[in-house]
Structure 1
Amino acid sequence: MIKKAVLPVAGLGTRFLPATKASPKEMLPIIDKPLIQYAVEEAIKAGIEEFLFITGKHKRAIEDHFDKAYELEERLKASGKYDLVEKINSFENYNFVFIRQKEPKGLGDAILCARSFVKDEPFVVILSDDLIDPDYPLLNEMLKIYEDKKAPVIALEEVPLSEVSRYGIVSGKKINGYYVIDNLVEKPKPQDAPSNFAIIGRYILTPQIFKYLEQVKPDKKGEVQLTDALRLLLNETKIYGVVIKGKRYDAGEKLGYLKTIVEFALKDPEISSNFKAFLKEKLSSSIC
């Protein structure tokens, strides 16, 4: 079983400035949990026990979030709020490690920072911007394929052709419900895209990826792209793709983030009823 997950969280979060000037975008809340907590909880459901966060400047809040908060805990106990004590201590049995990426040199460079943590084990990579419906066990699907094939597995989503330039795009052959990938291209123009199947923020990787990350040349922005290293890795091993069947929320940009909040609020048992009534009132008044 795979027990380690790598969460790259060193990005600058420029799409959410000025909110992210001194606070990590991964700590932006969806109702009552930050984005990064949803990612960790998803991994825990899939059996992950050890977490490495690749951080940068102004990311200390992430470390604090998964640490003990003794003063807060005592105040909650004194107020009889033991349910909240349990919520803030729900990660006590898991191991969290933090490594700083010295420069924001792309996803590939961030994952290269995980080499000493991963050692010779396969591992999961989770990008918290891509929030997966908590009721959909995407990682479990991917892990089943890894257990069978013992090769890298990446999550895919079919996107409109007009949007392929936002993603890494793959081509491949569908066999038994998954794809055997034969090519990967980082952010191609629509006319150059090998398909409209986009890589989304869930990967199962093997330690072989590190030697190819070292070989990849930085792009025009000075960033090392994981997609480029995966394309080189195809010379050594097969790579499999799983097309997502559940809902993915793109919380990494403003409109997607707002849509995510609305959808999660509509499913929240504590507030959904009143929130629906509020939305109906606002919609009816705007139509009038």
Structure 2
Amino acid sequence: MVRKAVIPAAGYGTRNLPITKVLPKEMFPICGRPAIDYIVQEAIGAGIEEILIVLSRSKTMVMDYFDRSLELENFLNMNSKSHLLPLLQQPNVHIQYVRQSYARGLGDAIRLAERFVGSDPFAVLLPDQLFVNEKKNALYEIIDTYYQSHVNVVGVKEIQQENLKFYGVVEGTKITDEMYTMTNIIEKPQSSTPSNLAVIGRYVFTPEIFSFLNKIPPGIGNEIQLTDAIQEMLSISPFIARVLEEDCFDLGKEAEYMALLNRMFKG
């Protein structure tokens, strides 16, 4: 059963400077709640019971948000504002934290979860990719695909050709309209691309992924790339690419963040 999830949230947020110098991207407000709250709720809705959030030294704000504020609760009770207490209710999930001392890439962040994961399959949710759909849960669909196939699953979306250079892109053999058997994955291809299926921030891995994360050398940007570990693992372990149809918004892109706000306010 997939009951554990990892949320890598230690990056510097360079695409959103200068605000991310003081406000983590994961804390960007969306209708009164930070973005990472939506990610945690998505995980809970998919059946996740334990979450490990990977943080950097400067992101204690995330920890503070998911902690009780007894002083604030007492203030509300004493000032006839107890009706606001439900807004402070903590998510019904066990959250742990680990610090990534230096941002060495997504792969490096995930491998810090090895002890937390143990021998269990686990999910990964990238917190700057928000899926919006009242009737569907993106991570639930990824986990459901794992239950059907019992192999590693990577969430993908069909992306316009000119934007594929910003993503990992998968190559595979079509099983159904929603699923492909992966044969290759390329990180941010700058010329020809094997398909229009871009990796979109939702995964389920078996713990074997750690043996590859621990041995691959630094790749693009001198970072430990998750894509490189997946590519190596493909030689011995099958992967399914699951096409997600939900609308997805990238918080690192100002236009998409504004579109998300507009979508949420209209909703």
Contact 2:219 2:228 in 1 (8 A): no
3-state SS of 1:110 partner:
helix
* Paired position in structure 1 for 2:217: 217
Contact 1:23 1:58 in 2 (8 A): no
* Paired position in structure 2 for 1:285: none
Structure 1 residue 96 displacement after superposition: 1.1
Matched-pair identity in %: 38
3-state SS of 1:256 partner:
helix
> Which letter maps to 1:10?
A
Q: Distance in 2 between matches of 1:134 and 1:238?
A: 29
* Paired position in structure 2 for 1:152: 152
Q: Distance in 2 between matches of 1:82 and 1:236?
A: 56
* Paired position in structure 2 for 1:201: 201
Q: Distance in 2 between matches of 1:144 and 1:246?
A: 15
Q: Distance in 1 between matches of 2:214 and 2:90?
A: 37
Name the structure, 1 or 2, with higher relative contact order (CA <8 Å, separation 6+). 2
Q: Distance in 2 between matches of 1:137 and 1:119?
A: 26
Does 1:44 find its partner at 2:44?
yes
Aligned pairs, number:
265
Contact 1:42 1:134 in 2 (8 A): no
Q: Distance in 2 between matches of 1:48 and 1:77?
A: 32
Structure 1 residue 11 displacement after superposition: 0.5
* Paired position in structure 2 for 1:228: 228
Contact 1:173 1:181 in 2 (8 A): yes
Stretch of structure 1 that moved more, 32-41 or 248-257: 248-257
* Paired position in structure 2 for 1:128: 127
Contact 1:164 1:188 in 2 (8 A): yes
Contact 1:28 1:34 in 2 (8 A): yes
Stretch of structure 1 that moved more, 144-153 or 38-47: 144-153
Deviation per CA, 1:256-279, whole angstroms, max 9, x where unpaired? 111111111111xxxxxxxxxxxx
Deviation per CA, 1:80-99, whole angstroms, max 9, x where unpaired? 444431221232x4211111
* Runs of 5+ unmatched residues, structure 1: 268-288
* Paired position in structure 1 for 2:29: 29
* Paired position in structure 2 for 1:183: 184
Give the alignment's TM-score, normalised by structure 2.
0.95
> Which letter maps to 1:116?
R
Contact 1:52 1:99 in 2 (8 A): yes
Q: Distance in 2 between matches of 1:261 and 1:7?
A: 22
* Paired position in structure 2 for 1:261: 261
Stretch of structure 1 that moved more, 214-223 or 40-49: 214-223
Deviation per CA, 1:183-215, whole angstroms, max 9, x where unpaired? 1000001x3211111000101111000011122
* Paired position in structure 1 for 2:69: 69
* Paired position in structure 2 for 1:165: 165
Q: Distance in 2 between matches of 1:241 and 1:10?
A: 26
Q: Distance in 2 between matches of 1:158 and 1:146?
A: 20
3-state SS of 2:21 partner:
coil
Q: Distance in 2 between matches of 1:6 and 1:203?
A: 10
Query: What's the Cα RMSD here?
Result: 1.3
* Runs of 5+ unmatched residues, structure 2: none
Larger Rg: 1
3-state SS of 2:201 partner:
strand
Give the alignment's TM-score, normalised by structure 1.
0.88
